[in-house]
Amino acid sequence: MSKKERIKSEIDICKALILAFLTAIFGTFGFTLINYEKINLWQGLGICAGLIFLFCVLFFLSKKMIKNLNKLEDLE
């Protein structure tokens, strides 16, 4: 496997993970909107902590993908 193919594979994996985490974020927002009257303080804090975690992972995946795209651009 060449270096270009490896970088392309990493980009594909990052794209799939970004899609999964975006789906999780939208699912969390949907759950919150449907159940906003029933959510207590602890559930709200858990939702906020989960969203912060999801956004952080999404940020780092995007950063890694951009880094790999720049590497791929330099190789070509």
* pLDDT tens for each residue of 29-41: 999 999 999 999 9
Question: Nearest to residue 57, comparing CAs of 25, 32, 27, 33?
Answer: 25
CA distances from 65 to 16, 17, 47, 53, 60 (A): 11, 11, 27, 18, 9
**Has residue 61 got a pLDDT over 80?**
yes
CA 23 – CA 48 distance, rounded (Å): 16
Residues 6+ apart with CB under 8 A from 3: 75
Average pLDDT, the chain: 93
pLDDT at position 1 over 80: no
Q: Report the pLDDT value the prediction gives residue 29, as an integer from 0 to 100.
A: 95
For the chain, the structural domain boundaries read 23-74
Judge whether residue 75 has pLDDT over 90: no
Mean pLDDT confidence for 16-44: 95
pLDDT computed for residue 76 by the predictor? 75
